[in-house]
Amino acid sequence: MARNSPPTGGPRHVAIIMDGNGRWAQARGRPRLFGHHAGARRVRDIVSACPELGVDYLTIFAFSTENWKRTQTEVSGLMALFRRYIIKEMQEFVKENVRVRFIGDRRRLDRSLQDLMDEAETMTSHCTRLNLTIALNYGGRDEVARATKRLAQDVALGRLDPEAVDEETLPKYLDTCVLPDPELVIRTSGEARISNFLLWQSAYSEYEFIDTLWPDFTKDIFTDVLRSYGARERRFGAVIG
């Protein structure tokens, strides 16, 4: 199969833990924020590659609920980067027919950033070529806790029968309620952990942990990972054959 040909049997929804920006910068003698800017440029490349590779949904982990523990300089730099990224890419998203959504708890984010997120979602709501979901101030446990609170409120108000609650109920209250679950989760930089990302949604996802740092994650590497996924046999707990 040619290197440039799209993978067959690939996933429709890919989620990526974009790890390694800071180490990439430090290896070059630069501050960590230099790596985050390089990582943002890499996002554009991967977003552009998704449609031709058969990926309809891309979810990226941009900032976790735990990332607030980083230095104030890095956190402030990241928030400024998110604002610049949304402003810079918004028209490009519309032009490329990319629908943008954000998941996570927005309440801790600056009001101006929240407004930009709302504007990006509204401006791209008609787009259909790719669904890009950006996890910002997101944590899987936090998401489940917030969803459970909303579910409990509906039970208390009589809108939901507690006896009717099953494993199909909670997903309707998650941030990702309008999205399919990811078939493949990729983590870059050599770390082999899921870091509180899409805990409920990835119950049956395939995982790929690769050594490449996120700013070096090219379209060719992405294609190879998708092709490897296509060769896997997914059983969902059943015995096949």
Phi then psi dihedrals of residue 100, to 5 deg: -110, 135
Query: H or E segment at 165?
Result: none
Q: Which residues contact 113 (CB under 8 A, 6 or more apart)?
A: 79, 82, 83, 86
Active-site residue, 19 included: yes
- List the catalytic residue out of 67, 105, 154, 224: 67
Beta bridge partners of 64: 138
71-99 b/e (C-beta count within 10 Å ≥ 16 → b) = eeeeeebbbebbbebbeebbeebbebebb
Tokens of 98: 């990319």
Active-site residue, 196 included: no
> What are the catalytic residues?
19, 67
